[in-house]
A and B are shown apart, each in its own frame.
Chain A
Amino acid sequence: MSHPLLENLDERTLSVGEYLEIVNGLLSPIRVSVEGEVTDLKILPQWVFFSLKDAETGSLLRCGLHAGVYKRIGVNLEEGMAVKIFGYGKIAEKSGNFGFWVSKIEPVGEGALRRAYELLVKKLKEEGLFERKRELPQFISHIGVVSSRNGVVIQDLLQNLKPLGIRVDFMHAGVEGADSAPEILRGIEHFSKAKERPQVLVLIRGGGSLESLQGFNNEAVVRACFGAPMPVLVGIGHDVDAPIATMVADWSASTPTAVAHVINESWLPLTQDVPRLRERMITSFRSRLRTLEHDVDMTLKSMQYALRRLVEAFRHYEQVLRSAWRQIPARIEQMEAMRVQQTARMTTAFSDMVRELGRSVASYERLLSASDPQRILKRGFGLVYRPDGTLVRSVKDVKEGEKVKTRLNDGTFESTVISKEY
């Protein structure tokens, strides 16, 4: 604690400002935790003030902090609450008041913790923070994990994740007690603001007491979870009181293994659906092909049937032709025989005809010779012709005194008609 102003202190006279500077200089490095009861709590827009009371002696320590810091600390102060605060003392120059500047607040004792827990649950429930549950994306391939590198939980998570090429970005944070809250908060904020943002945020730790899990019941942490731009998965073990982070998470379980499983399951559509879809496609196609095959088969069969009938018909005709062919010599013989017969018959008929003709001719000859005028003339008849050559058949044909020619068997003579008589 050496300070230029501290040299030769007893010999010097200081101004008030100088004195206060010395005192504050001495005080500020002394960072301590102080326990007491919260009284006279004033929560203002920019500042939070309260007096920490020693339960035994009643002594009071005036405390203060920026409202922003208070929010970030995430522990809600209540009148009468037993807390442990961390910070340093300082004397305000203007007022000369001694104040304790708080940088950490922790509820003390199960009672205080439980009360803080219950109050926060009630408050956030009324705000509806527990109602919204965001859907997890499919095919999760990039996660951001906030947890302790020293625990087994991170190993559990990594070992239970299927090898799906998942990118696991890990940010270490203490997960134990009040001190864990700012680190967890920082982890959530880091991933929320990251340029390459993970698809989901994962918070995991093992089970523990209310005191041990304080960081996950912290208001700032819980609100950061709710406000994270991606779904938050929480895997924190608990017996009775679920940590508030679990309540506000989009999905929660009590083990990191379960978290790993739900991440794996996001790939289920792929692992399940792809084979299923493939099956559907192939089954349909096969069945269609089978139908076609059947159709083709039927067509083929009917074609074969038609062809067979064609062949049969052909064979039949072939047989017919063959037998006809075989019969040709016989037929020829037959025809020859017929021809001979016919010829014979014709010849016979012809000869008959000739004979008949001969007979007719003979008879006609006889007839003719019987009617031969020469025979008649030979019998003494004569033919009388007029001068113009026409034959006289009747007495009327001649006139008395007309010249006529008479033909006898051996010549002619001319005469004149003397008289007529009928």
Chain B
Amino acid sequence: MSEKKNSIQDELKKLEEIAHWFEESDDFDVEEGLKKVKEGAELVKQLKGRIKDVENEFKEVEADLSDDE
């Protein structure tokens, strides 16, 4: 489960970096910017996918026998 979280954090970080890149310079190259926008849009799409309505999974678990001393 933690790899799901990690990749979310990675993607979020990348998106943050892209947004920052845009704000850093006033006169960035448009073609470069277009590339980054596409990258950013892809990230946004993936990240939005993670918070789309996905049902939670409920499961009652039994204690292992080894749990009892």
| A residues with CB within 8 A of B | 68, 72, 137-139, 141-142, 149, 158, 161, 163-172, 186-187, 189-190, 193, 196, 198-199, 267, 269-271, 273-274, 277-278, 280-282, 284-285, 288-289, 291-292
Q: Tell me if B59 and A168 are in contact (CB < 8 A).
A: yes
How many residues on B have C-beta within 8 angstroms of the other chain's C-beta atoms?
A: 42
Residues of B within 8 A of A72 (CB): 69
**How many Å lie between the Cα of A72 and that of B68 in the bound state?**
11
Q: Tell me if B56 and A139 are in contact (CB < 8 A).
A: no
Q: What are 19 of the A-B contact pairs (CB < 8 Å)?
A: A68-B69, A149-B60, A158-B56, A163-B56, A164-B51, A164-B56, A165-B56, A167-B59, A168-B57, A186-B63, A187-B63, A273-B15, A277-B40, A277-B44, A281-B36, A284-B19, A284-B22, A285-B33, A288-B26
Residues of B within 8 A of A282 (CB): 37
Q: Tell me if A171 and B18 are in contact (CB < 8 A).
A: no
Contact of A139 among B8, B26, B28, B64 (CB under 8 A): B8
Q: Tell me if A285 and B57 are in contact (CB < 8 A).
A: no
Q: Tell me if B61 and A161 are in contact (CB < 8 A).
A: no
Nearest Cβ on chain B to A269's Cβ, whole angstroms: 6
Q: Tell me if A171 and B51 are in contact (CB < 8 A).
A: no
Most buried by B among A138, A187, A196, A288: A288
| B residues with CB within 8 A of A | 1-2, 4-5, 8-9, 12, 15-16, 18-19, 22-23, 26-28, 30, 33, 36-37, 40-41, 44, 47-48, 50-51, 53-64, 67-69
Q: Apart from A190-B63, A288-B22, what are 16 other A-B pairs with CB-CB below 8 Å? A: A72-B69, A139-B50, A164-B54, A165-B55, A165-B56, A169-B61, A186-B63, A196-B1, A270-B12, A273-B12, A274-B12, A278-B15, A278-B41, A281-B36, A284-B23, A291-B26
Nearest Cβ on chain A to B44's Cβ, whole angstroms: 5
**How many Å lie between the Cα of A105 and that of B58 in the bound state?**
34
**How many Å lie between the Cα of A68 and that of B8 in the bound state?**
44
Most buried by A among B28, B51, B59: B51
Nearest Cβ on chain A to B15's Cβ, whole angstroms: 5
Q: Tell me if A161 and B18 are in contact (CB < 8 A).
A: no
Residues of A within 8 A of B37 (CB): 281-282, 285
Contact of B67 among A169, A190, A285, A292 (CB under 8 A): A190
Q: Tell me if A190 and B1 are in contact (CB < 8 A).
A: no
Residues of B within 8 A of A288 (CB): 22, 26-28, 30, 33
**How many Å lie between the Cα of A246 and that of B8 in the bound state?**
30
Nearest Cβ on chain B to A218's Cβ, whole angstroms: 16
Most buried by A among B19, B23, B57, B64: B19
Q: Identify whether the interface residues of B are mostly helix, strand, loop, or mixed.
A: helix
**How many Å lie between the Cα of A216 and that of B16 in the bound state?**
42
Minimal Cβ-Cβ distance residue in A for B15: A277
Q: Tell me if B54 and A189 are in contact (CB < 8 A).
A: no
**How many Å lie between the Cα of A271 and that of B19 in the bound state?**
16
**How many Å lie between the Cα of A278 and that of B41 in the bound state?**
8
Q: Tell me if A167 and B57 are in contact (CB < 8 A).
A: yes
Contact of A141 among B4, B15, B28 (CB under 8 A): B4
Q: Tell me if A158 and B58 are in contact (CB < 8 A).
A: yes
Most buried by B among A158, A285, A289: A285
Residues of A within 8 A of B53 (CB): 163
Q: Tell me if A167 and B56 are in contact (CB < 8 A).
A: yes
**How many Å lie between the Cα of A158 and that of B68 in the bound state?**
28
With A72-B69, A277-B15 in contact, is A165–B54 under 8 Å at CB? yes
Q: Tell me if A171 and B5 are in contact (CB < 8 A).
A: no
With A186-B68, A284-B23 in contact, is A169–B59 under 8 Å at CB? yes
Minimal Cβ-Cβ distance residue in A for B14: A277
Q: Tell me if B23 and A280 are in contact (CB < 8 A).
A: yes
Contact of B47 among A161, A274, A281, A284 (CB under 8 A): A274
Residues of B within 8 A of A137 (CB): 5
Q: Tell me if B1 and A199 are in contact (CB < 8 A).
A: yes
**How many Å lie between the Cα of A273 and that of B67 in the bound state?**
41
Q: Tell me if B5 and A199 are in contact (CB < 8 A).
A: yes
With A141-B1, A190-B63 in contact, is A292–B30 under 8 Å at CB? yes
Nearest Cβ on chain A to B55's Cβ, whole angstroms: 5
With A139-B5, A170-B59, A186-B63 in contact, is A274–B44 under 8 Å at CB? yes
